[in-house]
Structure 1
Amino acid sequence: MSKPALDRIDRKILSQLMRDTTLPVAQLAERVGLSQTPCWKRIQKLEAAGIITGRVAQVDPAMIGLGLTVFVEIEAPDHTPEWRAEFRKMIPRFPSIVEVHRLAGDVDYLLKVVVSGMDAFDEFYLQLTRALSCRNVTSKFSMEPIMVTTAWPLDVETP
C-alpha cells in the first residue's frame, strides 16, 4: 500500500489537529491559510485515506487514579507464529496495557502499562505471567514523565 502524498497544507492541518482537535474549522482554516470549506474537505480526505484515524481527549492518568506507569519488557520463549498469535490474543484481556511494541534486540516486546499503584501492578504481573509463557519479564517503573506527546514530527513550522 502506497503512502498518500501530503502537501504542506495537509501537514499544517495535521500538525494543528494533533495538538488540539477541538479547534473550530474556521480557526484551523485561518491558521493553515485556507477558507473553511476547503479546509473541511481536506480533513475529510485525510480521514478517508486513513491518515487521521480518530479523535480523542487526552486525559492525565494520575488524575483518574492511574498514577503508576510501568514499562514491561518481555522475552519470548520462542519466535513461532503460534506464540505470537497467543500473545496478540492475550493483549486485549489486560485493559491496563496501553501500548505494545515488538522490538529488535535483546527484548522482544515492550508493554506500557498504567495502573493505580504497586498492588494493582503486582496483580497485573501475576495474571500476565499465568496467561503467557515467557522466557523473561522485566519491569521498569516510571518515576516521572518528562515528555509525552501525540503530535508526530512534521516538517512544518509550529506556532
Structure 2
Amino acid sequence: MGEGSYCGRGYMEKIILDLVDRRILAVLQEDATVPIADIAERVGLSQTPCWKRIKRLEHEGVIESRVAVLNRDRLGLGVTVIVAIRTAQHTDDWLQTFAEGVARIPEVVEFYRMSGEIDYLLKIVARDIADYDRIYRKLTKVAPLHDVSSSFAMQEIKSTTALPLFD
C-alpha cells in the first residue's frame, strides 16, 4: 500500500492503482451503468478479472457508491447559492449541533469546514430566491452564527463528479 493521508472521515490509506484500474474508474465515472462486458473490452480484460477488480475497488473504498447524477434545472432547482459562514463559537459541541442541523437540510448539497477567515462553506440548491430565503431561515435556527454571506451563482461554467485519475 501507499502512504497514508487524512481525509474528512478519518485516516485513509492511499490505494495504489495501476493503469487498468484507472481505466476502469474512468469508464465508471463517465457512466456507472456500462455493462461489465463493455468495461472489460474497453480496458483490455476479460469479464471475470474486470469484475474482480471492480469488486476490489469497492471493497477498498475507492468506489464509494454508484449514483445517478440528476439535472437540477429539470427538477426546478435553478438557483445555486454558495454560503460562507463565520461563527464566534469553535467548540466540538457547537460543531456537532451545527453539523447535525445542516445534515437535516436536504438543499445543502455540500458542506465544508474551512481554514482562513471563513469557518464553513455550504453549497445550497434552491428553486428560486424565495425558496432560498426559506432555507436560509432554517439554517440560521440550527446554531448561533456570527455572519452568513450568500452568493448566487450567475452561470455554471464547470461542474463534474469525475475525479482526476493521474498515472
TM-score after normalising by structure 1: 0.94
Distance 2:120 2:20 in 1: 36
Aligned partner letter, 1:87: F
Task: Report percent identity of matched pairs.
Answer: 46
Which position in structure 2 is the counterpart of 1:116? 127
Which position in structure 1 is the counterpart of 2:7? none
CA offset digits 1:127-149 (Å, max 9, x no partner): 21122211100001011111111
> What RMSD in Å do the two structures reach over aligned CA positions?
1.1
Which position in structure 1 is the counterpart of 2:53? 42
Shift of 1:101: 1.0
Distance 2:28 2:95 in 1: 35
Aligned partner letter, 2:37: A
Shift of 1:60: 0.8
Which position in structure 2 is the counterpart of 1:58? 69
1:151 aligns with 2:157: no
Distance 2:118 2:103 in 1: 21
CA offset digits 1:68-120 (Å, max 9, x no partner): 11011111222111111111111222110011011111101110100111111
Q: The residue matched to 1:62 in structure 2 has which SS?
A: coil
Distance 2:133 2:165 in 1: 39
Aligned residues: 156
Unaligned runs of 5+ in 2: 1-11
Distance 1:138 1:114 in 2: 15
Distance 1:52 1:7 in 2: 15
- Contact kept in structure 2, 1:70 and 1:139, CA below 8 Å: yes
CA offset digits 1:42-89 (Å, max 9, x no partner): 001111111111111111101011111101111122211111111111
Unaligned runs of 5+ in 1: none
Q: The residue matched to 1:139 in structure 2 has which SS?
A: strand
Distance 2:62 2:163 in 1: 12
Q: The residue matched to 1:61 in structure 2 has which SS?
A: coil
Detail structure 1 runs of 4+ shifted over 6 Å in the superposition.
none
Which position in structure 1 is the counterpart of 2:151? 140
Higher helix share: 1
Distance 1:105 1:43 in 2: 39
Matches within 5 A, 1:45-124: 45-124=56-135
